[in-house]
Structure 1
Amino acid sequence: MARLNHGQWILLPKNKGPGQPVLDDYLQQHARLFVGKPVDTWFEAGYFQCNDRTLTRESVLRSGDQPRLFRPPWEEPVVPDDIHIVHEDASLLVVDKPPGLPVTPTGDFYQNTLLHLLRAQTNNAALSPVHRLDIETSGLIAFAKQPDQRGFYQMQFQQNRIAKSYTALVFGRFPTKLTIIEMPLAKDSLIYTKAVPDPDGIPARTEVAAVAHDLDQDMSVLELKPITGRTNQLRAHCAGLGFPIVGDKKYGADPQLFLRWLEDKNTAAYLTRWRLPYQALHSRCLALDTPAGTCLALTSQRDVVQTWRDLLQQSARPGGADLN
C-alpha cells in the first residue's frame, strides 16, 4: 500500500579534506549527490546536521566529520505484501519475497521495504539481511535475527559456501548441451551499474542445471546455480550469451530502452518489448549451514513459471498486462 513515511536521516560521506574546510567546500566535493536538489531550502529548514548541531553554509567541518541530511516525509510507491515465511529458528528468518519489493531502503523506498515490513511484523529491530536480491527478483532471502549472528551466515555467502538455485525465463531457445557458463564480467561503460562480458574482467561461473523450451513462446525455462557470486551475474551471463531474461530492463537487448525507462518509469509503455513488468528470475532453493553444524535446505513453493505464463498471456491481449 502507499504510505506517507516519517522522513529519513541519511548519513553523508565523511569529510576527508585536510584542515577545516567550510561546508560549501564539502558540498562541492560531493556535488553529484546534490544535483537538482533544493540545497538552499534544506539549509533554511535545518536539514543538514553534524555532531548534534545544525549546519549552515558557513559551518566548519573537521577532517573525519560525517554530516547527515534529513529527507522530509514523502509518499512511497505501492509494493506487494505477499511475503511468505519459509523458515524461522532462534538465529535465522528465511522468507519468500515477491517481485517489486526492495529488500532495503533505496531511492523512493524507505518504509515500503522487506526489511522494514519484517522488522515491524516480528517486532525485531535488529533483523538484518545476510545477502541481497534485486527489487524485481523474487524468492528466498535470509535474515539474521541478531547482530552477533549475522557474520556467521554472511561469511558463508561471501565464501560461496551457500548452495543456491534460481529459476529463470529467457528469450530464445537456450542450448540444452550448455551446462557451464564461464564469462568474466566488468562494469559497462554506458550503464555503470551493469555488468558486461569482458575477457579482462572478474571471473564468473554459472552452472546451467536444467533447460526446458516453452513450445508456446520462443523462450526457455532455466535452472541456474551461481558458482561465483558476482553482482547481477545470472542476468549478465544470460544476456551475454544472447538469451536475456524476460522482463529484464537493464539487461534487455536494447540499452537505450532502459535509459528511456529510467527517465519516465513507464513500464507499461515498453511491455511489448520486455513482455513482463519485472524480470523473470526467482531464487528457488537455498542451502546453508546452521550454528548447530547441520545443513538447512529450503525450497520456494511459489509456482513462478505458471505466474509468468499467465502474465505473458495477459500482455498479449488488447490492453496489456495488469501491472498492479
Structure 2
Amino acid sequence: MQMSKLDPKFSVVQYLDIDENHHNQRVDNYLLTLLKRVPKSHVYKLCRKGEVRVNKKRVKPDYRLQEGDIIRLAPVKMDEKTVKPIATAGLFMKDQILDSILYQDDFILVINKPSGLAVHGGSGISLGLIESLRQIFPEQRYLELVHRLDRDTSGVVLLAKKRSALTYLHECFRAKKVNKQYWCFVKGTWPNRVTLVDAPLKKNDLQGGERIVVVDEEGKSSQTRFRILKRYERYTWVEASPITGRTHQIRVHCASQGHPIIGDVKYCDEPTNKIAKSVGVKRLFLHAASLRFPHPDTRESMEIKAPLDNKLLQVLNNLPEKTAQNRKP
C-alpha cells in the first residue's frame, strides 16, 4: 500500500477534538468531510471495523457527535489507485473565484458562482465550487454549501462557515424565510397575465441516464412567480421568484408557458438557441440575482445581490427593444 496520494497525517493514529462547529453532526458525515479524498465505501468500512472510536467506544455511522467528544481515528491505509485525485483545477481558478466573493464574515461566505462551475463534484465532475474553496481556504475548518445551483446557472451561492450557521439557515429555507430572485431571458413575448405558474413537476430518467423534469399531475407541487423586466423584439427579460424549490423548476415552468429560457439545451429548441448564439448568448441565460435571508448570528435580514456577467449585460444592451405599439397585452 502506498500513502503518497494521501495527506501524510492520516498515516498515523489521529485524536480529533469535536468543537461547537460539529456538535450534533453524524460521525460518518464528519469523516467524509475530513477524508475528502477517501471513497465513501472505505469510510464506512473504517466504522464497521471499529477503527473509528468516540470516547474510546465503538460507534455506528449515524452517531451524533457532541461538543467535547474525542474521536480516535486509526491510520488510513489506501491503495494509490483507489484514492480520489486532488482537484488541482481549484487552485487554477483561484483568482476567478476570489473575484466572485460578494460577502463574508465569521459565519457565512457568499459567492457569485460563474456559469459552468458545478457547486460540488460528482456525476463525472471531479471538481466543484466547494472543493475549490476548501483548497483556496485550507485554514477554514468548516465550510459547507447551504443550498445549490445548477451547473449552468450563475449567481448567488450561500455557504456556512460554522455548523450552527448551516443548521439555522437550513431551518430558514424550510420555513420559507429565504427569498430568491432569478433573472431569465426567455423566448418570445411573455404575457402580462402570467404572473404565477402553478404546475406540479416530476423527475424522469431518460435512456442513457439523463434526467429531465416534466409537468405532471403526479409530480410535486411547484409554484414560481414571474415579473417582466424588459421586452425585446424576439425575447423577454423576466424575474422569477420560486415559491417552492424543485429541480429545474424555473426552467421547466418557463418552457411550460411556451417561453423556454434561452441557452437551455434541455428545455429550449435547438433553432432558437442557434439564433441566440449569433447575438452572443452562448450559455443558459439563468442568473440567481439576489438572496434575502436572516443572518445566522444577528438574525437581521440581509440581501445579497449578484451582478450579471459582462457578456450577458452586453447582449441585453445591444438587442433592439420591443416598441410600445408592437407589444402584445
TM-score range (shorter-chain normalised) is 0.5 to 0.7
Partner letter of residue 229 of structure 1? G
What one-letter code is carried by the residue in structure 2 that aligns with 1:171? K
Counterpart residue identity of residue 104, structure 1: H
1:298 to partner: Cα distance: 1.5
Tell me the secondary structure at the aligned position of residue 151 of structure 2: coil
Please, which of 84, 87, 93 is the counterpart of residue 103 of structure 2?
87
Give the match for residue 32 of structure 2.
Answer: none
Gap change, CA 1:135 and 1:312, over 3 Å in 2: farther
- The 3 A distance-change label for structure 1 pair 278 and 93 is same
Asked if 2 retains the 8 angstrom alpha-carbon contact of 1:9 and 1:71, the reply is yes
Separation (CA, whole Å) in 2 of partners of 1:161 and 1:226? 13
Name the structure 1 match of 2:235: 219
Residue 70 in structure 1 maps to residue 75 in structure 2: no
C-alpha RMSD over aligned residues: 3.6
SS at match of 1:283: strand
TM-fit CA distance, 1:165 = 0.4
- Map of 1:9-48 to 2, 5 A cutoff? 9-12=38-41
Identity of aligned residues (%): 26
Aligned to 1:137: 153
1:120 to 130, 135, 142: 135
| Count of aligned pairs between the two proteins | 247
Question: Displacement, 1:73?
Answer: 6.3
8 Å Cα contact 2:182-2:239 kept in structure 1: yes
| Amino acid in the other structure paired with 1:118 | L
Distance (Å, rounded) in 2 between the aligned partners of 1:251 and 1:192 = 13
Structure 2 residue corresponding to 1:289, chosen from 283, 288, 294: 294
Query: Residues 294 and 197 (structure 1 numbering): CA distance in 2 closer, same or farther, change over 3 Å?
Result: same
How far 1:9 sits from its partner (Å)? 2.9
Contact conserved, 2:264 with 2:273, CA < 8 A, in 1? no
Q: CA deviation at 1:13?
A: 10
Q: Secondary structure at the match of 1:70?
A: coil
Q: 1:241 to 1:92 in 2, by over 3 A?
A: same
TM-aligned CA deviation for residue 103 of structure 1: 1.2
Which moves more between the two structures, 184-193 or 89-98?
Answer: 184-193
Paired residue for 1:306?
313
Gaps of 5+ in 2: 7-35, 45-74, 321-329
TM-score between the two structures when normalised by the length of structure 2 = 0.64
Distance 1:207 1:119, change over 3 A: same
Distance 1:85 1:54 in 2: 36
Alignment partner of 1:244 is 2:284: no
Cα separation, 2, equivalents of 1:287 and 1:91 = 16
CA distance in 2, matches of 1:53, 1:9: 10
Contact 2:190 2:228 in 1 (8 A): no
**Contact 1:76 1:110 survives alignment (8 Å):** no
Find the counterpart in structure 2 of residue 173 from structure 1.
189
- Which residue does the alignment assign to 2:176? 160
CA distance in 1, matches of 2:171, 2:158: 13
CA–CA distance in 1 between the matches of 2:318 and 2:151?
18
AA partner of residue 272 (structure 1): K
Structure 1 equivalent of residue 274 of structure 2: 272
- For 2:309 and 2:180, locate their aligned partners in 1 and report how far apart those are by CA, in whole Å: 17
For the pair 1:203 / 2:208, whether they are aligned, the reply is: no
Give the direction of change, closer, same or farther, for the CA distance of 1:139–1:201 in structure 2 (3 Å limit).
same
Pairwise CA distance, 1:72: 5.1
The answer as to whether partners of 2:87 and 2:126 remain within 8 angstroms in 1 is: no
Kindly provide the amino acid, as one letter, of the partner of residue 228 in structure 2. Answer: A
> For each residue in 1:98-151, what CA deviation from the matched residue of structure 2 results, as whole angstroms up to 9, or x when unmatched?
11111111244334x221232233331411110001111111110000223211
Gapped regions of structure 1 (runs ≥ 5):
16-50, 56-67, 258-269, 314-324
CA 1:73 to 1:189, structure 2 compared with 1: closer, same or farther past 3 Å? closer
